[in-house]
Chains A and B, each alone.
Chain A
Amino acid sequence: MAAEDLPSQFDVVILGTGLTESVIAAACSRVGQSVLHLDRRNYYAGNWASFTFNGLLSWIEEYKNQQELQITESEQEWRSLIEDGEEAVPLNSVDSSISNLEVFCYASEEEEQEEETKDLLTCPNAETVSEETNSDSTETQDTVTSDDVTESNVKVQNEENEDSAPKEQLHASDISEHSQSVEEKQPNRSPADPPAELQKKITYQKLLKEGRRFNIDLVSKLMYSRGALVDLLIKSNVSRYAEFKNIGRILTCRNGKVEQVPCSRADVFASKQLTVVEKRMLMKFLTFCLDFEQHPEEYQDYSEKPFSEFLKNKKLTENLQDFVLLSIAMVTQQTLTEEGLKATQHFLRCLGRYGNTPFLFPLYGLGEIPQCFCRMCAVFGGIYCLRHSVQCLVVDKESNKVKAVIDTRGQKIGCSHFVVEDSYIREEQRESIDYRQISRAVLITDRSVLPSESDQQISLVTVPPVESSGPAVRMVELCSSSMTCMPGTCLVHLTCSSSGTAQQDLAPVVSQLFHIPTTPGEDPSEGTGEISKPAVLWVMYFNMRDTSAMDSSCYSLPSNVHVCTGPDAGLGSDYSIKLAESVFHCLLPDEEFCPPAPNPEDIIYDGDAPQAEGRGFDESNDTEANKSQAEEEGTTNETNPENSEAAEMDSVAQETTLDTNPPSEE
């Protein structure tokens, strides 16, 4: 879309397509505000994005280039647009929220045809695309020099990627094009592959070739089934744009052994590790937590003391204390009793709504969620431009309010409100800085950390801190049916609050839980004692800035500029949704936040425009018909009144053709 095409006035200009900004965009657009939604990146969702494997490699490349890039500013062009009584507030043009990025590859570099020869000695041990060569060497670094081919290999793939990953490369503002790509990917990414493939060793070539089957999230979060995000998705009808999968099980790592955390009634019943008395004690405690407010006498004496002490007092065995503290409440040793109880309660209240664990995960990755809200915004007339940013804000000196923005194409666009993601704010506009860091690792592995009957389970693994003071590491293992990785692999996300670099924080956990081949493509059966652990094929470490502690007092900005902080370190997205809601209420105090979107057939169109019609089930294929049966039978299921909601959430994304409303010129 050419710059001239943009209207010169919007109610709200939003910069950044992360979750918070996207929700605000959808909420504003839904109540009739004209919205211009921009992102300097060439993909949606900012730090919330999901990438194909190849897309991620080019993201890594971009990161690398950005580190080398000297920022040259050409302020002159927009200076001329500033009039008397106006002041310009320039914005950041680069993003520095990602740091310490490191990549290691352990998959065999062999061509697929040569797989049988297994000529391991001539293979490179590892490769890194990090620009900094760590001096504190691990065995993998020693051999970096042994092969340069791999790195160029990556680059070649990056170029190919330009064509092969339409979703992430989308930059046009037309949202319908995006929605098409959502439709397209379904048939392309069916998880049903011949089982023979699972037997084969997975080479790096294979990862690249099957790269489109990956949807690798930068942020690893799950959705609490009674969390703010799920409630909002249901309330706003945005859920119709996405599909979800249950997290199948919750695991923990005790004494170096991965085991299942019994958290639901069925789990406790089936657990083989607990004695019957432990079962009773655990169930009793959990039942108490469900409505602990009703029994203040039980915990009053501990209100100033840590939750961990309270658990000890409750006659729970050590075993059970760990389960509750680390895997159910997911708090630290220091957390106070009441907070611990609340966390446990929240976990329990989320149980059973959609399955045996409290969590859902969006198919195709978390990056889908911001895009769903963007789509809702576009359906109600919002305008989208990727690779399109704002250079500076135009502030009316008298009122100290933003009256317009100047975009990267030099157009001055009037607006009444400006919503912006934190990373666009320059240091000069910050009063105080309270950054924390999130340490992240992304692994591609060859199997689950705890194989079970069904290999198609998403698992949440809580790994206790190695030292008692350290942060607990949260691990999410995704299976191929979550549409985030190719069959025969698992995609593993590790997250913790940083105390050092991501690699320092997480590498010990990685080596504790996984087998790191000493030579790429090593047959795990050749190693000794490591056979039971899954092998790492590829790993990426990075730190992401956590700005969630910042509030409006941290910025010196005009009152109609609203800053959205990025993803926080928490497991749920409640923080970002609540932020979006509060920003929305600042913008439009009298409007409802994301009321349900009307059904297409209930919308009245001006003039003679033909009425758009939703795609009915009649036209859908067999699997959808089965699904709809599941829904309908679900709704009549008397024993589980929540099923109807589950059906709603599970329903196949229904494509509407309601996306071409011309933006209002008023």
Chain B
Amino acid sequence: MHGRVKVKTTAQQEEEKRKEREKKLKAFVCARDSVLKKRSAGEHDEEALDLTQQLLSSNPDFATLWNYRREVLLHLETLREKDEVQKLYESELHFIEACLKVNPKSYGCWHHRSWVNTRLPQPDWTRELGLCDRCLSLDERNFHCWDYRRLVVKESGVSVEQELQFTDRLIGSNFSNYSSWHYRSTLLPQLRPQPVLDSAHNTSPSPSASPQSHSHRVCEEQLLKEYELAHNAFFTDPNDQSAWFYYRWLLGRAEREEMISCVYVSREGERVSVAFSKPVHAGSVGLMLVLDGQPQQVQWRNAHPRLRHSPVWLCDLPAGSISDTSNEHNLTIHWTDKHTHRDCALYTGCAESWCRDSATDQELFRSELSVEKSSVLQAELQSCNQLLDLEPQNKWCLLTIILLMRALDPLGHEKETLTHFQTLKEVDAMRSSYYSDLCSKFLIENTILKMEYAEVRVFSLSNKKLTTLCHLDQLLLVTHINLSSNQLQHLPPQFSMLQCLEVLEADDNAIESLEGLYHLPKLEEVSLKNNKICKVSDLETLATCTKLTRLDLRGNPVHKTDDLESELSLILPLVTALSL
């Protein structure tokens, strides 16, 4: 075709580009070598700055060069007047800005920028803040920039109020940005803290005085506003997780008080078991046992050697110290770190004794959601139910409803909760195991509550599709436990916290390992019909339970073992009633 503009062919262009690249590479390698030579020669001059500048502007991720640059700058600093130093570092900032254009996520660049600002005689934080805003407007999830921004905000003393407005702006332009939501969650407790109510801990001064002492909670008025903001986000896009996570944070910030929740003494075993509200390491928290006014040197140990931090700790009292049933003993456990203690009296003629807070007294399992006014939570539950009507398949909504129901009335809502869990497993099959475990946890909590309302030491949770066991520290006093017809695969090490357990029924599960049946001093009877115990060696741990006499192993693969009976009698000589 005539008149057409002639254009280089692709091959020609490629060739040109290739040559261009080769030339660049050669120049780069050459400059790099000379820079490294200069550095090893200890030369700290302007030329070094020029050379590193050339290299870094094409590859800002070359950390060694930034280091060399810092050496040079520190040297030049000593030679110059103050205003010249200012100029030197200002031009350095300009240079870094150019490098950030090459790679806005370069670790080296951002780090060097922080460093330059610490060296700058008069840093211009406003300008730095502007730079951060510009970067974040291009990529609101650039965490390098977020990090740097935190530094700038801290150094320049931007008010918390302004920062909150900044998150307003970012969330307004795109609420699928957890960085901004999270930032909000760090600002609000500083800006609108919940007034301190607890007079027992009134030693801390006003929250604003010291950032360390402020509460992690937010005043109710602000909370309501935040709830509304989160509603707007998850009604607009219920599948976006950012707002839901933030909402969860709003709903649940209460932390359980650290305390000794239970002390149990067994006369026969001459043993003390202590349960804490949180897992601790007894060896390092300053635990002291006082028996009848005499401090005792005792060795605290875990219920199971595989546990490290644990909510239950055991110790043996000196032999003969409490074994006489005609004596009365007073026991005190001091937790010196927390300035708290708990007493326990062992009366005459009693084989055991305990002192504890019941789960029902403490509203133990609600504490994962904050103990806000229940009217507020009720209103939130209504909002979520409204959304569920519109989006019956939304997993975030379902899960949040479950959590709210638990916060409000775990037993009253049990049936609805189970239905919602069923839906959750269907709509989010990828996480069905997670939901099963969570459901198990809630069922165990409910059963503990029911058990304690009934004031019995029998824990029965059969045929509930349990997949996991938890809160075993709460079962310290339980004597009979029935876990039959569930989907359990293990009796975990934590099971060994059940120091009072006498009878275990766990038929019709899928139990393979009995790790947790370890040194249970009172265990007499274990029924494990129709489980998945395969090897004789899996049963060895039972030998540590010295009172075990009855064992039912019918319907387990271990059957196939030759000579099973004689092998078992070898490792479990005390078991007299063995069903195979």
| Interface, chain A (partner B; CB < 8 A) | 31-34, 265-266, 268-270, 276-277, 279-281, 283-284, 380-381, 598, 602-606, 628-630, 632-634, 636-639, 643, 661, 664, 666
Contact with A along B382-416 (1 / 0, CB 8 A): 01001100110000000000000000000000000
Do A279 and B232 touch (CB < 8 A)? yes
Residues of the A chain whose Cβ atoms lie less than 8 Å from the Cβ of B4? 31-32
A531 shortest CB reach to chain B, Å = 29
Of residues 95 to 113 in B, which have CB atoms within 8 Å of A's CB atoms? 97, 100-105
**25 A-B pairs whose Cβ atoms sit less than 8 Å apart in the complex:** A32-B4, A266-B173, A266-B175, A270-B232, A276-B232, A276-B235, A276-B383, A276-B386, A277-B235, A279-B236, A280-B238, A280-B387, A283-B235, A283-B236, A603-B5, A603-B7, A604-B6, A604-B8, A629-B101, A633-B104, A633-B139, A636-B103, A636-B139, A637-B139, A661-B5
Q: Does B233 contact A (CB under 8 A)?
A: yes
**CB-based closest 9 A-B pairs:** A32-B4, A276-B235, A664-B3, A32-B3, A633-B138, A604-B6, A629-B101, A32-B1, A598-B7
CB contact between B390 and one of A265, A280, A666 (< 8 Å): that residue: A280
Q: Does B13 contact A (CB under 8 A)?
A: yes
Q: Does B135 contact A (CB under 8 A)?
A: yes
A490 shortest CB reach to chain B, Å = 24
A140 shortest CB reach to chain B, Å = 43
Most buried by A among B1, B135, B138, B140: B138
Q: A276-B231, A277-B390, A643-B138 are in contact. List 7 more A-B contacts (CB 8 A).
A: A266-B172, A270-B172, A283-B237, A602-B13, A603-B7, A633-B135, A639-B139
Residue of B nearest to A602 (CB): B8
B397 shortest CB reach to chain A, Å = 11
Instruction: Kindly state the separation between the CA atoms of A277 and B382 in the bound complex, as whole angstroms.
Output: 12
Do B3 and A381 touch (CB < 8 A)? yes
Do B391 and A280 touch (CB < 8 A)? yes
Instruction: Kindly state the separation between the CA atoms of A270 and B104 in the bound complex, as whole angstroms.
Output: 29
Contact with A along B76-98 (1 / 0, CB 8 A): 00000000000000000000010
CB contact between A630 and one of B13, B138, B238 (< 8 Å): that residue: B138
Residues of the A chain whose Cβ atoms lie less than 8 Å from the Cβ of B236? 265, 268-269, 279-280, 283
Do B140 and A604 touch (CB < 8 A)? no
Of residues 159 to 197 in B, which have CB atoms within 8 Å of A's CB atoms? 172-175
Do A598 and B138 touch (CB < 8 A)? no
Residue of A nearest to B168 (CB): A270
Residue of B nearest to A33 (CB): B3
Residues of the A chain whose Cβ atoms lie less than 8 Å from the Cβ of B138? 630, 633-634, 637, 643
What count of chain B residues pass the 8 Å CB interface test? 37
Residue of B nearest to A268 (CB): B236
Residue of B nearest to A272 (CB): B232
A279 shortest CB reach to chain B, Å = 5
Do A598 and B237 touch (CB < 8 A)? no
Residue of B nearest to A278 (CB): B235
Q: Does B356 contact A (CB under 8 A)?
A: no
Q: Does B141 contact A (CB under 8 A)?
A: yes
Do B101 and A633 touch (CB < 8 A)? yes
Residues of the A chain whose Cβ atoms lie less than 8 Å from the Cβ of B23? none
Residues of the A chain whose Cβ atoms lie less than 8 Å from the Cβ of B105? 636
Residues of the A chain whose Cβ atoms lie less than 8 Å from the Cβ of B386? 276-277
Instruction: Kindly state the separation between the CA atoms of A603 and B13 in the bound complex, as whole angstroms.
Output: 11
Q: Does B2 contact A (CB under 8 A)?
A: yes
Residues of the A chain whose Cβ atoms lie less than 8 Å from the Cβ of B6? 603-606
Contact with A along B195-234 (1 / 0, CB 8 A): 0000000000000000000000000000000000001110
Residues of the B chain whose Cβ atoms lie less than 8 Å from the Cβ of A269? 172, 175, 232-233, 236-237
Known interface pairs A276-B383, A283-B237. Does A666 touch B172 (Cβ–Cβ under 8 Å)? no
Instruction: Kindly state the separation between the CA atoms of A269 and B175 in the bound complex, as whole angstroms.
Output: 8
Residues of the B chain whose Cβ atoms lie less than 8 Å from the Cβ of A32? 1-5
Residues of the B chain whose Cβ atoms lie less than 8 Å from the Cβ of A270? 172, 232
Residue of B nearest to A636 (CB): B104
Do A639 and B232 touch (CB < 8 A)? no
Instruction: Kindly state the separation between the CA atoms of A32 and B3 in the bound complex, as whole angstroms.
Output: 5
Known interface pairs A276-B383, A283-B236, A638-B139. Does A34 touch B3 (Cβ–Cβ under 8 Å)? yes
B557 shortest CB reach to chain A, Å = 50
A663 shortest CB reach to chain B, Å = 8
Residues of the A chain whose Cβ atoms lie less than 8 Å from the Cβ of B140? 639
CB contact between B2 and one of A283, A606, A664 (< 8 Å): that residue: A664
Residues of the A chain whose Cβ atoms lie less than 8 Å from the Cβ of B102? 632
Instruction: Kindly state the separation between the CA atoms of A268 and B173 in the bound complex, as whole angstroms.
Output: 11
Contact with A along B1-44 (1 / 0, CB 8 A): 11111111000010000000000000000000000000000000
Instruction: Kindly state the separation between the CA atoms of A500 and B340 in the bound complex, as whole angstroms.
Output: 88
Of residues 312 to 358 in B, which have CB atoms within 8 Å of A's CB atoms? none
Residues of the B chain whose Cβ atoms lie less than 8 Å from the Cβ of A666? 2-3
Instruction: Kindly state the separation between the CA atoms of A280 and B234 in the bound complex, as whole angstroms.
Output: 8
Residues of the A chain whose Cβ atoms lie less than 8 Å from the Cβ of B141? 639
Residues of the B chain whose Cβ atoms lie less than 8 Å from the Cβ of A664? 2-3
Instruction: Kindly state the separation between the CA atoms of A614 and B303 in the bound complex, as whole angstroms.
Output: 78
B190 shortest CB reach to chain A, Å = 25
B351 shortest CB reach to chain A, Å = 60
Residues of the A chain whose Cβ atoms lie less than 8 Å from the Cβ of B238? 280
Residue of A nearest to B229 (CB): A269
Instruction: Kindly state the separation between the CA atoms of A381 and B3 in the bound complex, as whole angstroms.
Output: 8
Instruction: Kindly state the separation between the CA atoms of A664 and B4 in the bound complex, as whole angstroms.
Output: 9
Residues of the B chain whose Cβ atoms lie less than 8 Å from the Cβ of A639? 139-141
Residue of B nearest to A30 (CB): B5
Instruction: Kindly state the separation between the CA atoms of A144 and B105 in the bound complex, as whole angstroms.
Output: 66
Instruction: Kindly state the separation between the CA atoms of A637 and B137 in the bound complex, as whole angstroms.
Output: 10
Residues of the B chain whose Cβ atoms lie less than 8 Å from the Cβ of A276? 231-232, 235, 383, 386-387
Instruction: Kindly state the separation between the CA atoms of A269 and B229 in the bound complex, as whole angstroms.
Output: 9
Do B390 and A281 touch (CB < 8 A)? yes
CB contact between A604 and one of B7, B104, B175 (< 8 Å): that residue: B7
Instruction: Kindly state the separation between the CA atoms of A283 and B235 in the bound complex, as whole angstroms.
Output: 9
Do A280 and B235 touch (CB < 8 A)? yes
Instruction: Kindly state the separation between the CA atoms of A253 and B11 in the bound complex, as whole angstroms.
Output: 58
Residues of the B chain whose Cβ atoms lie less than 8 Å from the Cβ of A31? 1, 4
B141 shortest CB reach to chain A, Å = 6
Instruction: Kindly state the separation between the CA atoms of A354 and B237 in the bound complex, as whole angstroms.
Output: 21
Most buried by A among B97, B139, B140, B238: B139
Do A632 and B5 touch (CB < 8 A)? no
Residues of the B chain whose Cβ atoms lie less than 8 Å from the Cβ of A33? 3
Do A284 and B390 touch (CB < 8 A)? yes
Instruction: Kindly state the separation between the CA atoms of A357 and B344 in the bound complex, as whole angstroms.
Output: 70
Do B390 and A598 touch (CB < 8 A)? no
Instruction: Kindly state the separation between the CA atoms of A270 and B174 in the bound complex, as whole angstroms.
Output: 10
A110 shortest CB reach to chain B, Å = 42
Residue of B nearest to A287 (CB): B237
Instruction: Kindly state the separation between the CA atoms of A605 and B8 in the bound complex, as whole angstroms.
Output: 10
A600 shortest CB reach to chain B, Å = 10
Instruction: Kindly state the separation between the CA atoms of A604 and B8 in the bound complex, as whole angstroms.
Output: 6
Of residues 422 to 438 in B, which have CB atoms within 8 Å of A's CB atoms? none
Residues of the B chain whose Cβ atoms lie less than 8 Å from the Cβ of A638? 139
Residues of the B chain whose Cβ atoms lie less than 8 Å from the Cβ of A279? 232, 235-236
CB contact between B174 and one of A266, A284, A636 (< 8 Å): that residue: A266
Instruction: Kindly state the separation between the CA atoms of A637 and B237 in the bound complex, as whole angstroms.
Output: 23
Residue of A nearest to B232 (CB): A269
Residue of B nearest to A283 (CB): B236
Residues of the B chain whose Cβ atoms lie less than 8 Å from the Cβ of A629? 97, 101
B236 shortest CB reach to chain A, Å = 5
Instruction: Kindly state the separation between the CA atoms of A602 and B102 in the bound complex, as whole angstroms.
Output: 25
A269 shortest CB reach to chain B, Å = 5
Residues of the A chain whose Cβ atoms lie less than 8 Å from the Cβ of B233? 269
Residues of the A chain whose Cβ atoms lie less than 8 Å from the Cβ of B103? 636
Residue of B nearest to A604 (CB): B6
A593 shortest CB reach to chain B, Å = 15
Residues of the A chain whose Cβ atoms lie less than 8 Å from the Cβ of B7? 598, 602-604
Residue of A nearest to B101 (CB): A629
Instruction: Kindly state the separation between the CA atoms of A281 and B387 in the bound complex, as whole angstroms.
Output: 10
Of residues 122 to 175 in B, which have CB atoms within 8 Å of A's CB atoms? 135, 138-141, 172-175
Residues of the B chain whose Cβ atoms lie less than 8 Å from the Cβ of A281? 390
